[in-house]
C-alpha cells in the first residue's frame, strides 16, 4: 500500500477510535476474558540517522560508556538485527522515528536522494516518524516525493527502476500552509496493538526556516511545538485515543559526555526539556532528537506525573526503547510501569541479510564515484566538539571557498556555517582501503553533503560586523568559520552589538564605510542559521558548488594539514 493511500486511513482510524470509545466497559470485559487486564507495548525509536546505512566511522561510529571506554556502534544491517531482537522479547512493538532520518547523508545514500535509506526503513518496518529539519533540505516538494514516491524530477530513478516512497507517514503537527493554515503534513498517526489505539504526534522544531534553505519552505509555517502537541493531544483524547506519544525533533545538550547512554545529564534551560515538561499531561512519553546527544530522563508533566524523555545519539548508534503498560479498560498508559532505556547498536550481532543487500547495492552503484581519490591529508582535520569556536575543518572549508572565488569574483574573505560541516576528515584509511591520508570524493561528500552554491556578495564593513554580531543571541552561539584572511576578537559577555572587536581583513582593520566582497554559501546568503544580516549583501555573483571548491582545494594542496587556530580570539 503506497504511503499516501495509507495516510488516507487517518480518517478511518479516527472513526475506529471513536467507535471504541463508545463501546466502553463492555468491550473491556470481552477483552479481559481473552487475556490480562493490561497490554504491553514496546516503542523502539530512531533519531538523526542521516542516511548512515553503512556503519559510521571515526567518532561518529562510537558510543562513549560511563567508564570512558568506547564501543563501535551503528550500521543499518546491525540496527535491523537489534530491532528484531527487541521485538522478539515482547508481543507488541512500534518502530518510530524522531526526525532527520534522511538529509546530510553520506554519499552511499545521498547520491540517490536518500532512496536507499527509505528502502531500508521500509524493510525494517518503520511505523511512523516525525519530520526533522533535514527532511526539508531539498524543499517541501522533495519531502512529499520521498513520502509519496516517484522518480526525482531532475535525476530520475537511479537507485531502482522505480521509487515507491515511504511506507510510513512522516508527521509534522506544527507544519501548516502559510496561506490557508491547513496541515502541510499529517499531524498524527494511530497504531493499534491488541485492539488498543496508540496515538503518535510528530513534528520538527519550529526553527526549521533558519536551518534549511528558506526558499524551499517559503510557503510553510512552522508553529510552536508545545501548542501543536497540545492541540492534537486533545483531539486524540477526544476520539478515544488515551495512550499518546510525542515524537519531536528537538532535544537537549548534555553537561558532559561521560554519563553513558542512560544518564540524565541534560543542561539547564534546554528546549527539549522545556517541551517535555510543558506539553499536555495526556502525552505519556516524549521521544526527542536533533541535538545528537544521548540521555534517558524522567520528567514531570504539568499535572506532576512522571513520563520518559529520551534521545539516542545519532547515525543509528543507539535505539531508544520505551516499554509501556496500557490498561485495557481505560486504554491509557500506567505511568508508574513505564520503563525506558537507550540500547547500543553493537556490531557483534549478525547483520540482517535483507538490509545488507540494499546497502551492498548502494555501495556498488556509488562506488566508482565515492572511492575516487581527490587529495591527501597529513593528519586528522576535525570539527571539534559541539560549541567549538574554532573548527580546523571549518577553517579549511572557508579557505577553499575563498580560493575558489578570490580571482574570479574578487573575494577577500569567506565565511562557513559550522552546522554545514558534517564529519571529520580522518587520516586513517576507511574500510574501503584507499590508504592512510587519502581523501576520497565520498569522504569529502560526507563532510559537505548539501551541494550548496557559493555566492560572493558585497558588504560594507559595518554590515560585516553586524553579521558577526548575530553569532550571539538569546540562547544562541553560532560561530561562523572565517577564511585565513579574516580575523577578529570577541567578548561573549559584552553587550549585544558590541561583542566583536579588532575586525581585520588581511591584517588591515575593517573600515565601516568601505566595501568588501565576502563569499558564503547560498544557505547563509538567504539568511540561514538566523544570519538575516547576510541577506543585505549587494552585487551577488555565483561561483559553483561548495563541494567542488573543497575538492579542488584538496587536490591543489597535497598533504594538507590542519589549519592553525587563532583567527578568532576570545576576550574576557
- Per-residue burial over 87-115, b if 16 or more Cβ lie within 10 Å, else e, is beeeebbbbbbbbbbbbbbbbbbbbbbbb
Q: What residues contact residue 495 under an 8 Å CB cut-off, 6+ apart?
A: none
Residue entry with cell 502541510: 184
What's this model's pTM, rounded to 2 decimal places?
Answer: 0.86
Identify whether residues 197 and 116 lie together within a single domain.
yes
Cell numbers found for residue 377: 591529508
Q: Examine residue 157 and state whether it is found in any structural domain, yes or no.
A: yes
Task: Report if residue 361 sits inside a domain.
Answer: no
Per DSSP bridges, beta strands 285-288 and 243-249 are parallel
271 inside domain: yes
DSSP string, 481-538: EEPTTEEEEE-TTSPTT--EEEEEETTEEPPTTSEEEEEEEHHHHTTGGG-GGGGG-E
Domain boundary among 354, 388, 419: 354
Residues 469 and 401 in one domain: yes
Residue 7 near residue 190 (C-beta atoms within 8 A): no
pLDDT on residue 137: 93
User: Do 297 and 393 belong together in one domain?
Assistant: no
* CATH value at residue 379: 3.90.780.10
Q: Do both 402 and 331 map to the same domain?
A: no
Is the CB of residue 41 less than 8 Å from the CB of residue 191?
Answer: no
Say if CB 509 and CB 479 are below 8 A apart.
no
The answer to whether residue 359 sits within a structural domain is no
- Taking CA atoms, 438 is separated from 290, 368, 392, 435, 555, in Å, by 31, 16, 18, 6, 11
CATH number of the domain encompassing residue 287: 3.60.21.10
Q: If you write DSSP's letter for every residue of 76-95 in order, what string do you get? A: HHHHHHHHHHHHHTSSEEEE
Residues 343 and 409 in one domain: no
Given 354, 385, 400, the domain boundary residue is: 354
> Taking a C-beta distance cutoff of 8 angstroms, is the pair 333, 325 a contact?
yes
Tell me which of 326, 354, 382 is where a domain ends. Answer: 354
The answer to whether the CB of 255 falls within 8 A of the CB of 273 is: no
Contacts of 266 (CB under 8 A, 6+ apart): 252, 253, 254, 255, 272, 273, 293, 295, 297
Which residues have a Cβ under 8 Å from the Cβ of 152 and sit 6 or more positions away?
113, 145, 158, 163
Compute the distance between CA of residue 209 and CA of residue 333 in angstroms, rounded to an integer. 35
- Judge whether 366 lies within some domain: no
Question: Mind spelling out the 3-state secondary structure of 534-547?
Answer: HHHCEEEEEEEEHH
Nearest to 505 by CA among 459, 538, 470: 459
DSSP 438-477: EEEHHHHHHHS-S-PEEEEEEEEHHHHHHHHHTTEETTEE
Residues 409 and 501 in one domain: yes
Report how far residue 75's alpha carbon sits from residue 218's, in angstroms, rounded to the nearest whole number.
Answer: 35
User: Do 310 and 440 belong to one domain?
Assistant: no
Same domain, 243 and 127: yes
Measure the CA angle with vertex 323, ends 35 and 60; round to 5°: 150
**Cα four-point dihedral sign 258, 264, 266, 272:** positive
Give the helix/strand (H/E) hosting 357. helix 353-370
Residue 360 lies in a domain: no
At residue 139, φ and ψ (nearest 5 deg) are 95, 165
How many domains would you assign to the chain? Answer: 2
In a domain, 367, yes or no: no
269 and 138 share one domain: yes
Alpha carbon 258 to chain centroid distance?
22
CA angle 287, 61, 386 (to 5 degrees): 65
- The pLDDT assigned to 474 comes to 84
Is 368 domain-assigned?
A: no
Q: What letter does residue 144 receive in the DSSP assignment?
A: H
Shared domain for 313 and 381, answered yes or no, is no
- Tell me the pLDDT of the chain (572 aa) as tens digits: 344 434 444 444 444 444 343 333 334 443 443 446 999 999 999 999 999 999 998 888 999 999 999 999 999 999 999 999 999 999 999 999 999 999 989 999 999 999 999 999 999 999 999 999 999 999 999 999 999 999 999 999 999 999 999 999 999 999 999 999 999 999 999 999 999 999 999 999 999 998 888 889 999 999 999 999 999 999 999 999 999 999 999 999 888 777 899 999 998 789 999 999 999 999 999 999 999 999 999 999 999 999 999 999 999 999 999 999 999 999 999 999 999 999 999 999 999 999 999 999 999 999 999 999 999 999 999 998 878 999 999 999 999 999 999 999 999 999 999 999 999 999 999 888 899 999 999 999 999 999 899 999 999 999 999 999 999 988 789 999 999 999 999 999 999 999 999 999 999 999 999 999 999 999 999 899 999 999 999 999 988 899 999 999 999 999 999 999 999 999 99
- Give the residue among 364, 349, 293 at the shortest CA–CA distance from 80: 349
Domain hosting 538: range is 373-570
Contact assessment for residue 362 and residue 159, using Cβ atoms and an 8 Å cutoff? yes
Q: What's the pLDDT score for residue 36? A: 63
Closest C-alpha to 163, from 145, 143, 149: 149
Q: What is the DSSP letter of 393?
A: H
- For residues 282 and 385, state if they share a domain: no
Picking from 54, 46, 113, 60, the residue whose alpha carbon sits closest to that of residue 421 is: 60
Relative to beta strand 196-204, strand 243-249 is parallel
Asked whether residue 234 falls in the same domain as residue 317, the answer is yes
Predicted local confidence at residue 6, as pLDDT: 41
Amino acid at each position: 500500500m503506497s504511503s499516501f493511500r495509507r495516510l488516507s486511513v487517518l480518517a478511518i482510524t479516527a472513526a475506529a477510535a471513536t467507535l471504541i470509545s463508545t463501546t466502553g466497559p463492555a468491550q473491556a470485559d470481552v477483552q479481559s476474558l481473552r487475556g490480562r487486564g493490561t497490554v504491553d507495548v514496546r516503542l523502539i525509536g530512531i533519531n538523526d540517522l542521516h542516511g548512515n546505512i553503512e556503519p559510521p566511522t571515526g567518532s561518529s561510529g562510537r558510543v562513549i560508556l560511563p567508564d570512558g571506554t568506547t564501543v563501535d556502534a551503528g550500521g543499518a544491517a546491525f540496527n535491523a538485527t537489534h530491532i528484531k531482537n527487541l521485538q522478539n522479547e515482547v508481543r507488541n512493538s512500534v518502530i518510530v522515528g524522531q526526525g532527520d532520518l534522511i538529509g546530510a547523508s553520506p554519499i552511499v545514500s545521498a547520491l540517490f536522494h536518500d532512496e536507499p535509506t527509505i528502502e531500508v526503513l521500509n524493510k525494517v518496518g518503520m511505523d511512523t516518524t516525525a519530520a526533522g529539519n533535514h527532511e526539508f533540505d531539498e524543499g517541501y516538494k522533495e519531502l512529499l516525493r520521498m513520502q509519496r514516491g516517484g522518480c526525482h524530477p531532475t535525476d530520475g530513478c537511479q537507485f531502482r527502476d522505480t521509487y515507491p516512497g515511504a511506507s510510513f507517514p512522516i508527521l509534522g503537527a506544527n507544519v501548516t500552509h502559510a496561506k490557508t493554515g491547513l496541515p502541510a503534513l499529517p499531524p498524527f498517526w494511530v497504531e493499534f496493538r491488541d485492539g488498543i489505539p496508540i496515538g503518535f504526534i510528530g513534528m520538527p522544531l519550529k526553527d526549521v526556516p533558519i536551518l534549511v534553505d528558506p526558499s524551499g519552505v517559503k510557503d510553510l509555517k512552522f508553529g510552536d511545538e508545545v501548542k501543536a502537541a497540545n492541540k492534537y493531544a486533545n483531539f486524540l483524547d477526544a476520539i478515544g485515543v488515551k495512550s499518546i506519544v510525542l515524537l519531536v525533533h528537538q532535544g537537549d545538550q548534555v553537561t558532559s559526555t561521560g554519563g553513558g547512554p542512560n544518564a540524565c545529564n541534560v543542561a539547564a534551560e534546554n528546549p527539549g526539556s522545556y517541551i517535555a515538561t510543558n506539553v499536555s499531561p495526556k502525552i505519556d512519553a516524549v521521544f526527542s532528537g536533533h541535538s545528537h546527544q544521548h540521555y534517558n530522563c524522567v520528567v514531570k508533566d504539568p499535572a506532576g506525573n512522571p513520563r520518559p524523555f529520551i534521545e539516542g545519539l545519532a547515525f543509528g548508534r543507539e535505539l531508544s526503547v520505551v516499554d509501556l503498560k496500557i490498561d485495557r479498560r481505560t486504554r491509557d498508559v500506567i505511568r508508574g510501569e513505564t520503563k525506558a532505556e537507550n540500547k547500543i547498536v553493537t556490531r557483534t550481532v549478525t547483520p540482517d541479510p535483507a538490509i545488507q543487500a540494499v546497502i551492498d547495492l548502494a555501495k556498488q552503484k556509488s562506488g566508482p564515484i565515492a572511492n575516487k581519490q581527490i587529495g591527501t591529508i597529513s593528519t586528522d582535520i576535525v570539527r571539534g566538539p559541539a560549541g567549538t569556536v574554532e573548527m580546523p575543518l571549518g577553517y579549511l572549508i572557508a579557505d577553499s571557498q575563498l580560493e575558489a572565488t578570490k580571482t574570479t569574483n574578487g573575494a577577500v574573505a569567506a565565511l562557513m556555517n559550522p552546522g554545514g560541516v558534517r564529519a571529520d576528515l580522518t587520516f586513517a584509511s576507511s574500510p574501503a582501503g584507499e590508504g592512510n591520508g587519502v581523501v576520497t570524493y565520498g569522504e569529502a561528500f560526507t563532510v559537505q553533503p548539501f551541494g550548496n552554491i557559493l555566492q560572493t556578495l558585497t558588504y560594507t564593513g559595518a554590515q560585516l560586523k553586524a553579521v558577526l554580531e548575530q553569532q550571539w543571541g538569546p540562547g544562541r552561539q553560532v560561530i561562523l568559520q572565517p577564511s585565513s584572511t579574516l580575523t577578529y576578537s570577541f567578548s561573549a559577555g559584552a553587550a549585544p552589538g558590541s561583542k566583536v572587536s579588532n575586525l581585520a581583513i588581511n591584517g588591515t582593520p575593517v573600515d565601516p564605510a568601505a566595501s568588501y566582497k565576502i563569499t558564503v554559501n547560498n544557505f547563509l546568503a538567504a539568511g540561514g542559521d538566523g544570519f538575516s544580516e547576510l541577506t543585505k549583501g549587494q552585487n551577488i555573483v555565483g561561483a559553483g558548488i561548495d563541494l567542488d571548491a573543497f575538492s579542488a582545494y584538496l587536490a591543489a594542496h597535497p598533504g594538507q594539514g590542519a589549519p592553525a587556530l587563532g583567527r578568532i580570539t576570545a576576550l574576557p
